[in-house]
Structure 1
Amino acid sequence: MRSLLRGRRLRAAACTALLGATVLGLGAAPASAAPTSSADPGTRYYLALGDSLAAGYQSLPGGGSEVGHGYAQDLAATLGQRAVQDGHPFSFTDLGCPGETTGSMINGGCPYPHPYYDSQLDAAIAFLTTHRHDDVLVTLDIGANDIGGCATAESVDAACAAKGIATAGWDLGTILSRLNAAAGPHTRIVGMNLYDPFLAAWLTGVPGKVVAGVSVPVADALNATLDLADALHGVPTADVAKAFSTNSFLPLVPLDGQQVPLNVARIMDWTNMARGDIHANDAGYQVIADTFLAEL
């Protein structure tokens, strides 16, 4: 999920994040060096898994980018405060890797530097095995990068998207099955769907409005698949698409001196699409964290 909107064209990952907002199924210690279980059984653990959103990727206004400043960090701050208030130690581990696909999560090969030697899934299983008797929360977002190359600012390739969805759906089932098998009796796993940054195409003119309009039913179909995959594995889904008002072309609201659909305004206010970055900004990441909290 690392692409940018340049001129009238969204790069492939913009589609992935847009569709990823609806696709199925984002540092930390290496799998070979998973943290040992705390001597205090009251420690509460939070493990974040997935792609660039879990990693907390953001572009910077003057150029460049950073990781480690996203919803997982926001969620960890809240969970850590709650743990302290309840008299429990707290530990946070983030395995999210920008650019991760469902396939690379299973087999390894995430393109962004990461501290674990094998796959993210292997590292996660090592963590869960070590902490099988502990209180562990796992959050997961994955699948967006399986839809690369499926859109431009002028069109959405439905066949391409369908193929990517099928791959992500199959792989997500594998991921959730293996996580469930490694999870202990006090482990909770929560998935999420994603917002639709491709709605930003609305602001590029008439063709962009058509593409933005087409993107939402595609996103809805992907979200339905994601919700089903999670449900089949007993995993609740944080409905980020709903939190971002993905389906709300009405009411019209003010944005930079014009009236735009609410869903378009949400994307422009809660992501960095104003500078072509599909990733959430600080406000958007907090919305995602709050959506997860509603499932806990």
Structure 2
Amino acid sequence: MPTAVPASTPARPTGPAVGTAPARTGRSRRPGRLLAAAVLTASALGLATATPASAASAESARNHPATHYLALGDSLAAGYQSTPGGGHVVGRGYAQDLARTLGDRAEAAGRPFSFTDLGCPGEDTGTMIHGGCPYPHPYAGSQLAAAVSYLKAHRKDRVVVTIDIGANNVDGCASGGQLNLPCAVNGIAAVDRDLDRILGELRSAAGPHTRIVGMNLYDPFLAAWLTGDQGRALATLSVPLADALNATIDRVDAAHHVPTADVGAAFATNAFLPMVPLGGTQVPLNVARIMQWTNMARGDIHANDTGYQVIADTFLAEL
């Protein structure tokens, strides 16, 4: 999600840190008006309809487990976490948690299993398509091109693909207790356009036994609630932005018949009630979950081990 909030909230890392489906149908695009309305009202969630995992697909996953797992996205997919001493690690996130479970399923069925993580910290939808992710990565061009090559090479295999992307498109759209609406509208419009292309290319490259699952996002700006009145205003304003971004992700995923792991709901993003205890005071549930499931207590927007496991479990619900 966006960064550049009061001093207690960090900026994202800028240096080293860490099945084929039916064709998509057309949909109208009026991003300026629709997205502005979405940012300003929490009813934006009503714009999207995620595609739930069916009972038949769940049974198929149990009886015919995936033999390959491909993780795509940004720092969350890469498993970025800061460490208490001021350092960082990669490879300790939801993709690794999910790979362990999928690997166990494959082993129980007597099948081989492989895990490939192409996630790149700092990636947005544009760099995912065109290249230029700022963090070192194992491919020469773009992450999307690397993913397409992987899927073409595994068209006959049972592959699970997870993808999280879009948070960095709205980086910096909230600061100083205010929401920059034009920035948010432009960022969300880019997600709408680019995610459509990304999923279209992945679908075209994927074989009949490939399952792609998307993910929407939690809202780390909620941590600003703890910094006083101005912080509470920013935290409150950030939720409609998160809702609008998640509504866009959910809608584009659904247009490509891609189920969405509802991480926003898992983190109770819209739950300013009930109030719950945290550090000797009472805070909204959504604030408590951000503080308990991410590293925002030390200024890092990324999930901690608990939060990453919640994300992995949310993906598993769609598999």
For normalisation by structure 2, the TM-score amounts to: 0.81
Q: Secondary structure at the match of 1:145?
A: helix
Q: Which amino acid aligns with 2:243?
A: D
What residue in structure 1 maps to residue 228 of structure 2? 205
Q: Which amino acid aligns with 2:233?
A: V
Q: Which amino acid aligns with 1:107?
A: H
Q: Which amino acid aligns with 1:244?
A: F
Contact 1:252 1:260 in 2 (8 A): yes
Cα drift, residue 4 of structure 1? 7.4
What residue in structure 1 maps to residue 286 of structure 2? 263
What residue in structure 1 maps to residue 104 of structure 2? 81
Quick one: distance in 1 between partners of 2:66 and 2:174? Answer: 45
Q: Does 1:217 align with 2:245?
A: no
Matches within 5 A, 1:186-197: 186-197=209-220
Quick one: distance in 2 between partners of 1:12 and 1:66? Answer: 14
Matches within 5 A, 1:262-281: 262-281=285-304
Contact 2:66 2:102 in 1 (8 A): no
Quick one: distance in 2 between partners of 1:84 and 1:254? Answer: 42
What residue in structure 2 maps to residue 179 of structure 1? 202
Contact 2:215 2:262 in 1 (8 A): yes
Q: Secondary structure at the match of 2:230?
A: helix
Quick one: distance in 2 between partners of 1:113 and 1:6? Answer: 29
CA, structure 1 residues 141+43, in 2 after alignment: closer, same or farther (shift >3 Å)?
Answer: closer
Cα drift, residue 148 of structure 1? 2.1
Unmatched 5+ stretches in structure 2: 14-38, 40-44, 49-63
What residue in structure 1 maps to residue 144 of structure 2? 121
Matches within 5 A, 1:1-296: 7=7, 10-11=10-11, 44-296=67-319
Cα drift, residue 154 of structure 1? 1.5
Contact 2:3 2:172 in 1 (8 A): no
Quick one: distance in 2 between partners of 1:3 and 1:214? Answer: 14
Contact 1:216 1:246 in 2 (8 A): yes
Q: Secondary structure at the match of 1:259?
A: strand
Quick one: distance in 1 between partners of 2:84 and 2:78? Answer: 19
Q: Which moved more, 1:94-103 or 1:140-149?
A: 140-149
Cα deviation, 1:31-59, whole Å, max 9, x if unaligned, reads xxxxxxxxxx9970000000000000000
Cα drift, residue 221 of structure 1? 1.7
Cα deviation, 1:1-29, whole Å, max 9, x if unaligned, reads 7967662565478xxxxx9xx9x9xxxxx
Cα drift, residue 146 of structure 1? 1.1
Q: Which amino acid aligns with 2:298?
A: R
CA, structure 1 residues 208+71, in 2 after alignment: closer, same or farther (shift >3 Å)?
Answer: same
Q: Secondary structure at the match of 1:117?
A: coil
Q: After the TM superposition, list the runs of 4 or more consecutive aligned residues in structure 1 that deviate by more than 6 angstroms.
A: none
Q: Secondary structure at the match of 1:89?
A: coil
Aligned length: 272
Q: CA RMSD in A?
A: 2.1
Contact 2:9 2:300 in 1 (8 A): no
Quick one: distance in 2 between partners of 1:42 and 1:247? Answer: 34
What residue in structure 2 maps to residue 31 of structure 1? none
Quick one: distance in 1 between partners of 2:207 and 2:310? Answer: 29
What residue in structure 2 maps to residue 32 of structure 1? none
Q: Which amino acid aligns with 1:202?
A: W
What residue in structure 1 maps to residue 33 of structure 2? none
Quick one: distance in 1 between partners of 2:159 and 2:151? Answer: 8
What residue in structure 2 maps to residue 36 of structure 1? none
Cα drift, residue 167 of structure 1? 0.8
Q: Which amino acid aligns with 1:269?
A: Q
Quick one: distance in 1 between partners of 2:292 and 2:153? Answer: 40
